[in-house]
Structure 1
Amino acid sequence: MKAHGDAGDYYGKVFARTEPPFAFVDLDALTANAHDLLRRAQGKPVRIASKSLRARKIIEYVLGLDSGFQGIMAFTLDEALWLHGLGARGVLVAYPTTDTELLGALAERTAEDPEGAPVVMIDSPDHVELIEHAARRSGTGTGTDTGTGTGVKTCLDFDASFWLAGGRIRIGAKRTPIHTPEQAAAAARRVERSASARLVGVMSYEAQIAGTGDAVPKRPVANRVIRLMQDRSHRELRERRALAVEAISRITPLDFVNAGGTGDLELVASEPVVTEVTAGSGLYAPALFDRYSRFAPQAAAFFALPVVRRPGPRTVTVLGGGYVASGVPRWDRAPVPAFPPGLRYDGNEGAGEVQTPLIGPAAEHLTVGSPVFFRHAKAGELCERFNELHLLQDGEIVDIVPTYRGEGRCFL
């Protein structure tokens, strides 16, 4: 990718004959990001988080780059079954499901392909019971107390949040109730008693570290507080996670211990107990990753919208643009107008569903039909807005590939 200062001219020339709106991925930047993720993973396999990419050809491209990328972490069971049907093996589903029809399909797939079928996430006896119920209905399971070491593969979601004041203050994502090694062991024993499920892995996601930027502009004090919290949190989690894995391993052998995200790969990779790490967003490097001090990825995913109106001398209006990212509603969840530089939102309208006004000196030089290039605040959510991605490499468009949406797939 060209230096940041002339990237707008670079992309403008490449896409001079491409009518916006469109989305694209700069494979040169993505490849550089991929190699940096592997460096930070310190030799441990990197499982790709598909929810951050949402385009099969991109996932396949990354898996083919280097043997350090191994496996996929899906965000729904429906997606995992689809990927498995297309040849992916051992897909890990990051979140539990209550869909007994899909769980029944998983039980059938597991009977056909015991080792290659997807692995489903659990954190409650309720999840195990749902698997047992679905397995009985599908004719692949018999009960709950005759464990045989076969059945649907499961992974235990172990809480990575940081507790203060005896748990009265909890910093991190509200995910799993399994916080202590004793709770983890109890969950493992419940799976061990099942004839329809088997525990093969443990996963943790440290949202307060991996998903929280510590270099937010104009917030030096808050950034120092965040770094202090993250350091204390990781030191506490490192010890607690090791004890939990030890407790589970006394009950059943584990195939993997997964942890991390783009924001904390080097931290979790340093833990002896962790056997693999997960990353995805760092490949596209959306705008929220500009707020981290430990790494500096290259922006690799963009979308372009056409100027369709000029309401004033320093104001243009582009078509669409209301692609606001998930999370707490704030300005940092809005797409970032990247090129040409010098554009900003109108505070009274923001990024709109059908039109987005942009103001600033750069607007003076834009004409009706000119493209404005944006970066999404997050990663994979961009692909829910476009059917295809233009792939750019060495200054040329080398391919156009479908997103999940372009393949007619919407998993959430």
Structure 2
Amino acid sequence: MPDRRALRTRYDAATAHLDPPLAIVDLAAFDANAAALHHRATGKPLRVASKSVRCRDLLRRVLGRDGWAGVMAYTLAEALWLVETEITDDVLVAYPTVDRGAIAKLAADPAAAAAVTLMIDEITQLDLVDAVAPPGHRETLRVCIDLDASWRPLPGTHVGVRRSPIHSPAAAGALAAAIAARRGFRLVGVMCYEAQIAGLGDAPPGRPVRGALIRAIQARSGPELLARRAAAVAEVAAHADLEFVNGGGTGSVAATAADPAVTEVTAGSGLYGPTLFDAYRAWRPVPAAFFALPVVRKPTPGTATVLGGGWTASGEAHASRLPTPWLPAGLRLLATEGAGEVQTPLVGPGASGLAVGERVWFRHAKAGELCEHVDALHLVTGDTIAETVPTYRGEARSFLG
């Protein structure tokens, strides 16, 4: 971790003319994280997860770097927008879509149909597309099969997230055969996101038992997935000329890239370095994204209350999803209040030195969700703002809201 006192001095100086709340991205840290992820991918291309960035200018920045190619979008409407605005001509939509308006737009646009790949995991999703735009009256649409990566060591057990119903190689092959028999679709890829490996930190602070359990799960589920993914890809390839096999996330770039069946790895959160990734042993990104809130009251000499603060991350209802007061050091949330809707009291050794009007710098628990709270990101170089760029919200784009 960098010198936090020096960071506070730099960030306060860079934003002294601005009133918080505000958010920044430290470009040196962002670029260092992008380079580190590229190095960990050992030559396999990285597809940037747009939900973890949610800023077109920063998507453009990372796509301009060596080793990064293509976007993994989280909705079809977002994918179409990124193609229209020339951020990329290669977008994989990470989740199935039932957005009829977006499907109609995709089906009628040859350029978009060539650039966007839809995610599917059952035939009814193809039926919905055909109901919106019948084959023979639309462009051929690119599709990718989502292969479930969860670990099922015993009947009835499920370790990992609940995504696709396609778990076995046989099921993947059967779906591929069904797609191959359909007019108007072309199967081009397989995705397999190992959430129990890429999305779980194996050294969660203050939770040693949980950490040991996670490490045991990862050690056992990894080899099982390696064999099953290879077999599933072989089954699918019997029915289609695959362009890519996508896997992984920031937390598993090196491990996923080492899988011979995988041709590309997804990453995104590691560019911003949110607090959830402080729980990983293999690699921890440099914190690059922060938000500042102003101190507005001092209810006691040892308490500093900031305006706002309830920028809670998605996922399990746990303290790990709360924002972390980071600069100055020595601050913590109150267990009885947490991060509040309109005010957040902070205590700890750092609180007594804070005065009304000063600012506290926080780190978000997750990456791109920070951008749902601000219209702009101030890009910091040294102790100055190099540029101010809009977030998705700042461009009036809220794809899940």
TM-score by length of 1: 0.94
1:256-405 aligned at under 5 Å gives the runs 256-405=244-393
Change over 3 Å in CA distance of 1:357–1:72 after alignment to 2: same
1:94-173 aligned at under 5 Å gives the runs 94-109=94-109, 111-112=110-111, 114-116=113-115, 118-136=116-134, 140-141=137-138, 151-166=140-155, 168-173=156-161
Percent identity of paired positions between Structure 1 and Structure 2:
50
SS in 1 for 2:158: strand
2:84 aligned with 1:85: yes
2:211 aligned with 1:214: no
SS in 2 for 1:362: coil
1:22 equivalent in structure 2: 22
- How many angstroms does 1:10 deviate by? 2.7
Report the AA paired with residue 146 of structure 2: D
Whole-angstrom CA distance in 2 between matches of 1:218 and 1:381: 24
> Any idea what the Cα deviations from partners look like across 1:320-374, whole Å, max 9, x if unmatched?
1100000011111000000111111122211011111111222221111100000
Whole-angstrom CA distance in 1 between matches of 2:186 and 2:129: 10
Whole-angstrom CA distance in 1 between matches of 2:242 and 2:12: 50
Moved more, 236-245 or 84-93: 84-93
- How many angstroms does 1:112 deviate by? 4.5
SS in 2 for 1:65: coil
Report the AA paired with residue 160 of structure 1: A
Whole-angstrom CA distance in 2 between matches of 1:65 and 1:24: 21
Whole-angstrom CA distance in 1 between matches of 2:391 and 2:72: 17
Whole-angstrom CA distance in 1 between matches of 2:193 and 2:298: 46
SS in 1 for 2:253: helix
Is contact 1:47–1:278 with CA below 8 Å preserved after alignment? yes
Unaligned runs of 5+ in 2: none
Moved more, 211-220 or 45-54: 211-220
Whole-angstrom CA distance in 1 between matches of 2:79 and 2:243: 19
Is contact 2:13–2:384 with CA below 8 Å preserved after alignment? no
- How many angstroms does 1:395 deviate by? 2.8
- How many angstroms does 1:289 deviate by? 0.4
Whole-angstrom CA distance in 1 between matches of 2:380 and 2:391: 15
TM-score by length of 2: 0.96
Change over 3 Å in CA distance of 1:164–1:367 after alignment to 2: same
- How many angstroms does 1:114 deviate by? 4.7
Whole-angstrom CA distance in 2 between matches of 1:388 and 1:99: 28
- How many angstroms does 1:20 deviate by? 1.1
Matched residues, number: 399
1:33-52 aligned at under 5 Å gives the runs 33-52=33-52
> Any idea what the Cα deviations from partners look like across 1:96-125, whole Å, max 9, x if unmatched?
01122211111112x355532x11110011
Change over 3 Å in CA distance of 1:321–1:44 after alignment to 2: same
1:411 equivalent in structure 2: 399
2:239 aligned with 1:251: yes
> Any idea what the Cα deviations from partners look like across 1:193-250, whole Å, max 9, x if unmatched?
1112111110011110011011112333432221121021110001000000001111
Unaligned runs of 5+ in 1: 142-149
Change over 3 Å in CA distance of 1:389–1:113 after alignment to 2: closer
Is contact 1:131–1:196 with CA below 8 Å preserved after alignment? no
1:184-199 aligned at under 5 Å gives the runs 184-199=172-187
Whole-angstrom CA distance in 2 between matches of 1:357 and 1:61: 37
Whole-angstrom CA distance in 1 between matches of 2:306 and 2:137: 54
SS in 2 for 1:136: coil
RMSD of aligned alpha carbons: 1.5
- How many angstroms does 1:389 deviate by? 0.3
Whole-angstrom CA distance in 2 between matches of 1:32 and 1:308: 35
Report the AA paired with residue 63 of structure 1: L
1:70 equivalent in structure 2: 69
- How many angstroms does 1:282 deviate by? 0.3
Change over 3 Å in CA distance of 1:97–1:113 after alignment to 2: closer
Is contact 1:315–1:357 with CA below 8 Å preserved after alignment? yes
Is contact 1:2–1:10 with CA below 8 Å preserved after alignment? no
Whole-angstrom CA distance in 2 between matches of 1:17 and 1:2: 24
- How many angstroms does 1:126 deviate by? 0.8
Whole-angstrom CA distance in 2 between matches of 1:352 and 1:152: 45
Whole-angstrom CA distance in 2 between matches of 1:397 and 1:101: 39
Change over 3 Å in CA distance of 1:37–1:351 after alignment to 2: same
2:58 aligned with 1:58: yes
SS in 2 for 1:171: coil
